[in-house]
Amino acid sequence: MIALLKRDLALAVRAGGGFGLGLAFFLIVVVLVPFGVGPEAAVLSRIAPGILWVAALLAALLSLDRIFALDFEDGSLPLLATSPLPLEGVALIKGAAHWITTGLPLTLAAPALGFLLNMAPGAYLWLLLSLALGTPALSMIGTFGAALTVGLRRGGLLMSLLVLPLYVPTLIFGAEAVQRGAAGLPATTPLLMVAGITLGCYALLPFAAAAALRVNLR
Protein backbone atom coordinates (compact mmCIF):
# COMPACT_ATOMS: atom_id res chain seq x y z
CA MET A 1 0.00 0.00 0.00
CA ILE A 2 2.96 2.30 0.67
CA ALA A 3 4.09 1.64 -2.90
CA LEU A 4 0.73 2.84 -4.22
CA LEU A 5 0.89 5.97 -2.07
CA LYS A 6 4.42 6.71 -3.26
CA ARG A 7 3.44 6.21 -6.88
CA ASP A 8 0.37 8.45 -6.62
CA LEU A 9 2.37 11.21 -4.98
CA ALA A 10 5.13 10.91 -7.60
CA LEU A 11 2.52 11.10 -10.38
CA ALA A 12 0.92 14.16 -8.83
CA VAL A 13 4.12 16.19 -8.62
CA ARG A 14 5.52 15.24 -12.03
CA ALA A 15 4.66 17.08 -15.23
CA GLY A 16 1.01 16.81 -16.13
CA GLY A 17 0.02 15.64 -12.68
CA GLY A 18 -2.03 18.73 -12.02
CA PHE A 19 -0.46 19.41 -8.66
CA GLY A 20 -0.93 23.08 -7.80
CA LEU A 21 -3.99 23.55 -9.99
CA GLY A 22 -6.23 23.20 -6.95
CA LEU A 23 -4.17 25.75 -5.05
CA ALA A 24 -4.34 28.24 -7.92
CA PHE A 25 -8.10 27.71 -8.13
CA PHE A 26 -8.42 28.30 -4.39
CA LEU A 27 -6.51 31.57 -4.73
CA ILE A 28 -8.61 32.76 -7.68
CA VAL A 29 -11.95 32.00 -6.03
CA VAL A 30 -10.94 33.83 -2.87
CA VAL A 31 -9.68 36.80 -4.90
CA LEU A 32 -12.92 36.93 -6.88
CA VAL A 33 -15.11 37.21 -3.80
CA PRO A 34 -14.26 40.86 -2.95
CA PHE A 35 -15.04 41.79 -6.57
CA GLY A 36 -18.49 40.31 -6.02
CA VAL A 37 -19.34 41.62 -2.57
CA GLY A 38 -17.36 44.85 -2.50
CA PRO A 39 -14.13 45.82 -0.74
CA GLU A 40 -15.66 46.77 2.62
CA ALA A 41 -13.37 45.28 5.27
CA ALA A 42 -16.11 44.61 7.84
CA VAL A 43 -18.20 42.59 5.36
CA LEU A 44 -15.21 40.59 4.13
CA SER A 45 -14.06 39.91 7.65
CA ARG A 46 -17.50 38.56 8.54
CA ILE A 47 -17.80 36.19 5.60
CA ALA A 48 -14.13 35.18 5.43
CA PRO A 49 -14.46 31.83 7.30
CA GLY A 50 -17.33 30.68 5.09
CA ILE A 51 -15.67 31.84 1.88
CA LEU A 52 -12.41 30.10 2.73
CA TRP A 53 -14.20 26.86 3.56
CA VAL A 54 -16.40 26.90 0.45
CA ALA A 55 -13.44 27.80 -1.77
CA ALA A 56 -11.32 25.01 -0.26
CA LEU A 57 -14.18 22.58 -0.81
CA LEU A 58 -14.54 23.57 -4.47
CA ALA A 59 -10.78 23.37 -5.00
CA ALA A 60 -10.77 19.85 -3.55
CA LEU A 61 -13.70 18.94 -5.80
CA LEU A 62 -11.78 20.03 -8.88
CA SER A 63 -9.31 17.16 -8.88
CA LEU A 64 -11.59 14.37 -7.66
CA ASP A 65 -12.33 12.86 -11.06
CA ARG A 66 -8.61 12.15 -11.53
CA ILE A 67 -8.55 9.83 -8.51
CA PHE A 68 -9.68 6.74 -10.38
CA ALA A 69 -10.34 7.91 -13.95
CA LEU A 70 -6.66 7.87 -14.99
CA ASP A 71 -6.09 4.42 -13.52
CA PHE A 72 -9.27 3.22 -15.18
CA GLU A 73 -8.26 4.54 -18.62
CA ASP A 74 -4.76 3.06 -18.67
CA GLY A 75 -5.92 -0.27 -17.26
CA SER A 76 -4.18 -0.03 -13.89
CA LEU A 77 -7.41 -0.49 -11.98
CA PRO A 78 -8.20 -4.08 -13.04
CA LEU A 79 -4.53 -4.91 -12.46
CA LEU A 80 -4.72 -3.49 -8.95
CA ALA A 81 -7.98 -5.36 -8.39
CA THR A 82 -6.26 -8.68 -9.19
CA SER A 83 -3.18 -7.79 -7.11
CA PRO A 84 -2.75 -8.75 -3.43
CA LEU A 85 -3.91 -5.26 -2.37
CA PRO A 86 -7.51 -5.26 -1.15
CA LEU A 87 -9.60 -2.72 -3.06
CA GLU A 88 -10.63 -1.21 0.27
CA GLY A 89 -6.96 -0.46 0.88
CA VAL A 90 -6.61 0.98 -2.61
CA ALA A 91 -9.57 3.31 -1.94
CA LEU A 92 -8.14 4.35 1.41
CA ILE A 93 -4.73 5.12 -0.11
CA LYS A 94 -6.29 6.99 -3.00
CA GLY A 95 -8.21 9.17 -0.56
CA ALA A 96 -5.09 9.79 1.52
CA ALA A 97 -3.01 10.61 -1.56
CA HIS A 98 -5.66 13.05 -2.75
CA TRP A 99 -5.58 14.75 0.64
CA ILE A 100 -1.80 15.05 0.66
CA THR A 101 -1.77 16.57 -2.81
CA THR A 102 -4.78 18.90 -2.41
CA GLY A 103 -6.20 19.11 1.11
CA LEU A 104 -2.87 19.61 2.87
CA PRO A 105 -1.60 22.43 0.59
CA LEU A 106 -5.03 24.09 0.77
CA THR A 107 -4.93 23.97 4.56
CA LEU A 108 -1.47 25.51 4.63
CA ALA A 109 -2.37 28.21 2.10
CA ALA A 110 -5.68 29.18 3.74
CA PRO A 111 -4.26 31.49 6.48
CA ALA A 112 -2.42 33.52 3.83
CA LEU A 113 -5.68 34.01 1.98
CA GLY A 114 -7.33 34.88 5.28
CA PHE A 115 -5.27 38.09 5.26
CA LEU A 116 -6.75 39.02 1.87
CA LEU A 117 -10.23 38.77 3.37
CA ASN A 118 -9.33 40.65 6.52
CA MET A 119 -10.19 37.70 8.76
CA ALA A 120 -10.39 38.24 12.53
CA PRO A 121 -7.00 37.49 14.18
CA GLY A 122 -8.56 34.99 16.57
CA ALA A 123 -9.79 32.81 13.72
CA TYR A 124 -6.48 31.77 12.13
CA LEU A 125 -5.73 28.92 14.51
CA TRP A 126 -9.26 27.57 14.15
CA LEU A 127 -9.09 27.89 10.37
CA LEU A 128 -5.91 25.82 10.26
CA LEU A 129 -7.27 23.24 12.69
CA SER A 130 -10.69 22.88 11.10
CA LEU A 131 -9.27 22.56 7.58
CA ALA A 132 -6.60 20.12 8.75
CA LEU A 133 -9.29 17.98 10.40
CA GLY A 134 -11.98 18.46 7.74
CA THR A 135 -10.26 18.28 4.35
CA PRO A 136 -9.35 14.58 4.79
CA ALA A 137 -13.09 13.86 4.97
CA LEU A 138 -13.61 15.83 1.75
CA SER A 139 -10.97 13.70 0.02
CA MET A 140 -12.44 10.40 1.24
CA ILE A 141 -16.03 11.36 0.35
CA GLY A 142 -14.73 12.46 -3.03
CA THR A 143 -12.95 9.13 -3.47
CA PHE A 144 -16.28 7.40 -2.92
CA GLY A 145 -17.91 9.69 -5.50
CA ALA A 146 -15.08 9.01 -7.96
CA ALA A 147 -15.48 5.26 -7.43
CA LEU A 148 -19.20 5.50 -8.19
CA THR A 149 -18.69 7.36 -11.47
CA VAL A 150 -15.41 5.86 -12.69
CA GLY A 151 -16.97 3.88 -15.53
CA LEU A 152 -18.91 6.81 -16.95
CA ARG A 153 -17.61 8.76 -19.90
CA ARG A 154 -18.73 12.14 -18.63
CA GLY A 155 -18.75 11.40 -14.93
CA GLY A 156 -17.19 14.66 -13.74
CA LEU A 157 -20.34 16.76 -13.61
CA LEU A 158 -22.45 13.93 -12.25
CA MET A 159 -19.86 13.30 -9.56
CA SER A 160 -20.12 16.92 -8.40
CA LEU A 161 -23.87 16.49 -8.12
CA LEU A 162 -23.41 13.33 -6.03
CA VAL A 163 -20.57 14.55 -3.86
CA LEU A 164 -21.62 18.11 -2.98
CA PRO A 165 -24.66 17.16 -0.86
CA LEU A 166 -22.41 14.72 1.01
CA TYR A 167 -20.08 17.63 1.81
CA VAL A 168 -22.78 19.53 3.72
CA PRO A 169 -22.11 18.29 7.28
CA THR A 170 -18.34 18.72 7.00
CA LEU A 171 -18.77 22.22 5.61
CA ILE A 172 -21.26 23.25 8.27
CA PHE A 173 -19.16 22.09 11.20
CA GLY A 174 -15.87 23.24 9.70
CA ALA A 175 -17.04 26.76 8.86
CA GLU A 176 -18.90 27.00 12.17
CA ALA A 177 -15.71 26.27 14.08
CA VAL A 178 -13.93 29.14 12.33
CA GLN A 179 -16.92 31.48 12.76
CA ARG A 180 -16.95 30.80 16.47
CA GLY A 181 -13.21 31.23 16.68
CA ALA A 182 -13.51 34.58 14.89
CA ALA A 183 -16.20 35.69 17.36
CA GLY A 184 -14.05 34.61 20.30
CA LEU A 185 -16.44 31.80 21.28
CA PRO A 186 -15.30 28.29 22.24
CA ALA A 187 -15.11 26.24 19.04
CA THR A 188 -14.18 22.79 20.27
CA THR A 189 -17.65 21.26 19.73
CA PRO A 190 -17.84 21.82 15.95
CA LEU A 191 -14.16 20.93 15.71
CA LEU A 192 -14.76 17.61 17.42
CA MET A 193 -17.71 16.98 15.09
CA VAL A 194 -15.45 17.61 12.06
CA ALA A 195 -12.88 15.19 13.48
CA GLY A 196 -15.64 12.63 14.08
CA ILE A 197 -16.90 12.92 10.51
CA THR A 198 -13.38 12.49 9.16
CA LEU A 199 -12.72 9.40 11.28
CA GLY A 200 -16.09 7.93 10.35
CA CYS A 201 -15.44 8.56 6.65
CA TYR A 202 -12.05 6.83 6.73
CA ALA A 203 -13.48 3.93 8.71
CA LEU A 204 -16.50 3.23 6.51
CA LEU A 205 -16.26 4.85 3.08
CA PRO A 206 -13.35 2.70 1.80
CA PHE A 207 -15.73 -0.26 1.94
CA ALA A 208 -18.43 1.59 0.01
CA ALA A 209 -15.86 2.85 -2.51
CA ALA A 210 -14.42 -0.66 -2.97
CA ALA A 211 -17.92 -2.06 -3.52
CA ALA A 212 -18.56 0.58 -6.16
CA LEU A 213 -15.20 -0.14 -7.82
CA ARG A 214 -15.93 -3.88 -7.98
CA VAL A 215 -19.26 -3.16 -9.65
CA ASN A 216 -17.65 -0.78 -12.13
CA LEU A 217 -14.88 -3.27 -13.01
CA ARG A 218 -17.32 -6.08 -13.81
Partner 1 sequence: MGLIVSDVTVARSGAPLLAGLSFTVAEGTALVLRGPNGIGKTTLLRTLAGLQPPVAGTVTFPDDSAAYASHADGIKAQLTVVENLRFWAEVHGSTVPDTVYQAFELTDLKDRLAGTLSAGQKRRLGLARLGVIGRKVLFLDEPTVSLDAFSVKGFARWLREEHLARGGLAVIATHIDLGLEAPELELSPFRAAPDAAGGSDEAFL
Partner 2 sequence: MSIWEYANPKKFIATSTPLVPWVMGLAVAGLVVGLVWGFFFTPDDYRQGSTVKIIYLHVPAALMAINAWFMMLVASLIWLVRRHHVSALAARAAAPIGVVMTLIALLTGAIWGQPMWGTWWAWDPRLTSFLILFLFYLGYIALWEAIDDPDTAADLTSVLCIVGSVFAVLSRYAVRFWNQGLHQGTSVPVATGGRTVDDVFFVPLVICMVAFGLLFVGLVLIRTTTEIRARRMRALEARMRR
Query: What residues line the site for partner 2 (CB under 8 A)?
Result: 144, 148-149, 151-152, 155, 158, 161-162, 164-166, 168-169, 172-173, 176, 190, 193, 197, 204-205, 208, 211-212, 215-216, 218
- CA–CA distance, 2 with 71 (Å, rounded to integer): 17
Instruction: Choose the contact partner of 38 out of partner 2, partner 1, none; CB within 5 to 8 A by kind.
Output: none
- Closer CB to partner 1, 45 or 76, in the complex: 76
Least separation in angstroms between CB 151 and partner 1:
12
- C-alpha torsion 72→75→76→80, nearest 10: 90
- Closer CB to partner 2, 105 or 155, in the complex: 155
Site for partner 1 in 199-218 (CB under 8 A): 217-218
Counting residues that bind partner 1 (by CB under 8 A) gives 26
The answer to whether 67 touches 143, Cβ cutoff 8 Å, is yes
Residue 161, SS3?
Answer: helix
Instruction: Choose the contact partner of 168 out of partner 1, partner 2, none; CB within 5 to 8 A by kind.
Output: partner 2
- CA–CA distance, 124 with 115 (Å, rounded to integer): 9
Q: Does 153 sit near partner 1 (CB under 8 A)?
A: no
Q: Which of 22, 169, 139 is nearest to 30 (CA)?
A: 22
- Closer CB to partner 2, 107 or 179, in the complex: 179
- CA–CA distance, 125 with 206 (Å, rounded to integer): 30
Q: Does 73 sit near partner 1 (CB under 8 A)?
A: yes
The answer to whether 143 touches 209, Cβ cutoff 8 Å, is yes
Instruction: Choose the contact partner of 44 out of partner 1, partner 2, none; CB within 5 to 8 A by kind.
Output: none
Site for partner 1 in 6-65 (CB under 8 A): 7, 10-11, 14-17
Residue 218, SS3?
Answer: coil
- CA–CA distance, 33 with 55 (Å, rounded to integer): 10
- Closer CB to partner 1, 10 or 112, in the complex: 10
Q: Does 128 sit near partner 1 (CB under 8 A)?
A: no
- Which of 36, 75, 121, 165 contacts partner 1 by CB under 8 A? 75
- CA–CA distance, 120 with 101 (Å, rounded to integer): 28
